[in-house]
Chain A
């Protein structure tokens, strides 16, 4: 058991090290950020001085070594653009991104599951065809297009929602959130809906397929024969069996929601991590890009590690092979 754990830890460390090298090399290949930073008329001497102040004059391997040593002490460098620690810049924006991702997840559940079940229970009706047709549109329409259309219809023409930005925030348990007030919610609804459209469509399709499959099962027929029908049949007998694969899928999709919110964030000027990382890549703000990748990697490695350990604890067969 202990042997297995140390092995996993060493593996994780190797992955992190390798990834840091890839991230560092990748962003170094893109170009030299110094010309994006200095005044356009700066002389060669001033440029060299500026490069020295950021450590950019060192050879790449030495820069990497410095980065590793500092990272080991918990310092992932200072942003060239913002002149602030990269980690705090990223952490500062996590709440906005998570808020958007979870709201989108919420929409996809409360809209997707009921529609999917309705469609699944009425396989021959027009309603089913309408719902499934919409879901195809939801799967295929590109997010940036949907986002622009939403802005145009709901904020420019109807004036119901603001076209971008984040509303007023309040602090809940030390985290700034904007969904506690109507004013804040107004800013959240359009981007969250845009982000969730694809997920809604996905949930509809999964639920519809599941419902159709489950409603053919013997025990449902038996329940119907016993006289169970309507909402009781749906909620008690069908829903629990349909939901299991959906919950698994949504768990996986949450990661995607967080990672793929960048397009939505940049259309709606939503100040989350996605927007920060895009801006940082454009400005070649190396410390922020590398820190972002490292933080994301750490989260993934940690989750995988915990899952592996849980498997070990739960499944005796794995323990025996580990010996």
Chain B
């Protein structure tokens, strides 16, 4: 990216000018104010409108029954405990004496109201996907809520961790404007809503009546700074204390400054390749002469294994992504529910890949066009160009076509002549938002079934009876240990069969002024609750 080059140049000028001027910017930050330079812009104040970046900000104001720790493991929040009454019934015990920011005490009625509101909200961005298992929500005591599910739903507590609990008194009619102006913006969280200036910032203030540990910050501001160099300079100039999405492009300037610390962690976002498995004559696979192939080479496991072995994951991660990613061998990174430590990152072995292709009957390879987005995932177009080169090296002459995600997603999902997926080999990303591999397994690895909503992201139409059986069994297994074993087995089955070609997990990186400590989170969220003034600085 040219901005990286420019930024390096600027870093040099930076060095020279600071040597000339000898002016050190003074950090005039109040001890108890925290300013965050935030890449995204908040687009909605209604916490039941689905958007990860909005949720990042609103979890300061609203809480859910269940919270997620740094590694996305469920921990008690507004519910102190939960249990299965039977396989389709969950019972949540609510935390007593919790008050909303408007002074009202939180009751079971508020919980019922909030979950039902999230299920029935209209519009394109809702949490309905996560609540589709819910049959009914009933209040079964002053501090008890019982949720009936349509079938066994072991991941329900994780899903409920995404749903903000609001006071029932705001009513059914509460509109986006009511939330944006603060009229109905009452949660139970450690911070209260102060204001939202569109396109500029969200300001929050400490909730001194919070039920849990009180926060050290009096005021927290999320300043929206979408452009990378601008975000970096805001940090360097001291106008913010911390920035998110501090990628390798701006790292050089932080290294030359001795005032900045950096922390990063592997996120849940997996980038992977999917292969066309449902057509005998895949439109973007051709013989070396440009004629259609007799059969789809991707239906031969040797060809798939050749692709798997050709990918130079370490090279991509270290040189192309410059450390902003971690090589992936499966659906979720280590530490997540369903990660199988026995699955190792496949070795980069061009000779083996060539041999496999020859064994499969393609000693001279074939021609292929690979498709990618160019504005969705970090360095997506560059990654695809690199992949095109290694595939060409093993004899599959690869052309890479990249396009904006808005065009790409439509074509990849339904761009074919009769509404079927269009591409032959293509890259997507998927995130295990709740820290559990079940969601990606259901969406990517399970056979496509429109009516049941399964295999929603399975655009290659990969289908394996063994995998389907394991995934479905896991999705109704209430015992955690048994379920994790099933998910591990499913992941292993998909990878052994090369149902997808996993590439890497993106990393989340934060840069902040020295003197702070920051707990990195796997979901990439920037939470004031995880940012503290380190004791040594005081």
Contacts and interface: CB of A to CB of B under 8 A. Distances in A.
- Our verdict on whether A and B bind, yes or no, reads yes
B21 A157 contact: yes
A41 B439 contact: yes
A43 B129 contact: yes
Interface in B436-459: 439-440, 442-443, 450-451, 453-454, 456-457
Interface in B93-123: 122-123
Interface stretch (B164-172, B402-410, B496-504): B402-410
B430 A41 contact: yes
B237 A156 contact: yes
A82 B43 contact: yes
Contacts of B440: 41
A162 B37 CA distance: 13
Nearest to B448: A44
B226 interface: yes
B263 interface: no
Interface in A21-40: 30-40
13 contacts: A45-B453, A46-B128, A50-B123, A81-B43, A149-B10, A156-B25, A156-B233, A157-B18, A158-B21, A159-B23, A164-B234, A165-B239, A267-B230
A50 B450 contact: no
Contacts of B413: 35, 44, 47
A152 interface: yes
Contacts of A267: 227, 229-230
Contacts of B456: 41-44
A44 B238 contact: no
B239 A163 contact: yes
Given A31-B410, A43-B450, A271-B200, A38 B237 contact: no
A188 interface: no
Contact of B14 (A30, A93, A156, A159): A156
A136 to B, nearest CB: 21
Nearest to B442: A41
A30 B44 CA distance: 24
Nearest to A276: B199
B450 to A, nearest CB: 5
B225 A269 contact: yes
A164 B225 contact: yes
A31 B407 contact: yes
Given A39-B50, A267-B230, A53 B123 contact: yes
Contacts of A44: 413, 450, 453, 456
Given A42-B456, A148-B10, A157 B406 contact: no
Contact of B176 (A84, A93, A276): A84
Contacts of A47: 413
Nearest to B176: A83
Nearest to B11: A152
Interface in A122-171: 145, 148-149, 151-153, 155-159, 162-166
Nearest to B455: A43
A285 B127 CA distance: 21
Nearest to A93: B199
Contacts of B453: 43-46
A163 B234 contact: yes
A80 B354 CA distance: 48
B251 to A, nearest CB: 16
Nearest to A42: B129
B237 A35 contact: no
A163 B233 CA distance: 7
Contacts of A269: 200, 223-227, 230
Interface residues of B, number: 66
Most buried by B among A39, A42, A276: A39
Nearest to A271: B199
B122 A53 contact: yes
B202 interface: no
The main secondary structure of chain B at its interface with chain A is mixed
Q: Which 6 A-B pairs have the closest CB atoms?
A: A31-B406, A159-B25, A43-B453, A35-B409, A50-B124, A271-B199
Interface in B16-64: 17-18, 21, 23-26, 41, 43-44, 46, 49-50
Contact of B177 (A45, A51, A84, A266): A84
Nearest to A169: B197
A35 B21 contact: no
A157 B25 contact: yes
Contact of A164 (B6, B124, B230, B409): B230
Contact of A152 (B14, B199, B430): B14
B13 interface: yes
Given A152-B10, A159-B24, 19 more contacts: A31-B404, A31-B410, A40-B430, A40-B431, A41-B430, A41-B440, A42-B456, A43-B453, A46-B128, A83-B49, A148-B229, A151-B233, A156-B237, A157-B25, A159-B25, A162-B239, A165-B201, A271-B199, A282-B375
A89 interface: yes
A148 B239 contact: no
Contact of B17 (A145, A152, A279): A152
A157 B124 contact: no
Given A37-B125, A163-B237, A269-B224, A148 B409 contact: no
Nearest to B413: A35
A54 interface: yes
A92 interface: yes
B518 interface: no
B237 A153 contact: no
A284 interface: yes
A198 interface: no
A159 B238 contact: yes
A79 to B, nearest CB: 9
B198 interface: yes
Most buried by A among B41, B227, B234, B237: B237
B230 A82 contact: no
B491 interface: no
A275 B21 CA distance: 33
B225 A271 contact: no
